[in-house]
Amino acid sequence: MFNSIATRIAASAVQFSVLRRPFARKGVVPKEEPHTHFRTNLKHPDSETDQEFDCRYEAYFNRTDIDGWEVRHAMNELSGMDMVPDTKIIIAALHACRRINDYAVAIRFLETVKFKCADKVHVIWPYVLQEIRPTLHGLGLETPEELGYDKPELMMPDIYEYPTK
């Protein structure tokens, strides 16, 4: 019995190698489609204007049936882009965080937006805060600075910062 099973496996292996061999000889490898494990509702068109981009993300965050994974997924996509999101998108994302009742994700998103400001943080971040301040008060959110997250908790004082006597 074992002999017949081994013969069948060997025969199928030979058939498989014979089928693959012509591709290898010609140097042509068939193109395989990448496998995805999930589908997303955020389809990226080839070319879209800034207004269409803002409307697409704003509509995505304003969905009533959005869940926590979708909110975090969209925020992760935004943080991977080389731009600071518009304040309309930030406000819609904060409302989505409120709908899923996740305070921590809202604060982390604000930290990400501040980090995306990079070297223009003294110009862009105050403008963003000015625009989203009514929403923050309405939702009962605080900024990372108000929570004390702008500096590490166990920060050591810099010895070069203090004058010596």
Q: Model pTM greater than 0.75? A: no
Which carries the bigger pLDDT value, residue 36 or residue 76? 76
In a domain, 161, yes or no: no
Instruction: Inform me whether the pLDDT recorded for 11 exceeds 70.
Output: no
114-157 pLDDT, tens per residue?
999 989 999 999 999 999 999 999 999 999 999 988 877 777 77
What CATH number is attached to the domain comprising 71? 1.25.40.40
Distance CA(37)–CA(81), nearest Å, equals: 22
* Pair 83, 22 in one domain: no
In a domain, 54, yes or no: yes
Instruction: Inform me whether the pLDDT recorded for 66 exceeds 80.
Output: yes
What total of structural domains would you count in the chain? Answer: 2
User: What would the mean pLDDT of 71-83 be, rounded to a whole number?
Assistant: 94
* Pair 80, 109 in one domain: yes
Q: Are 139 and 95 in contact (CB under 8 A)?
A: yes
Q: What single string gives the DSSP state of each residue in 25-69?
A: HHT--PPPPPP-S---S----SS--HHHHHHHHHHHHT-TT--HH
Domain range enclosing 61? 50-147
In a domain, 18, yes or no: yes
Location of structure tokens 């140097």: 27
Question: What does R_g of the chain's alpha carbons equal in angstroms?
Answer: 26
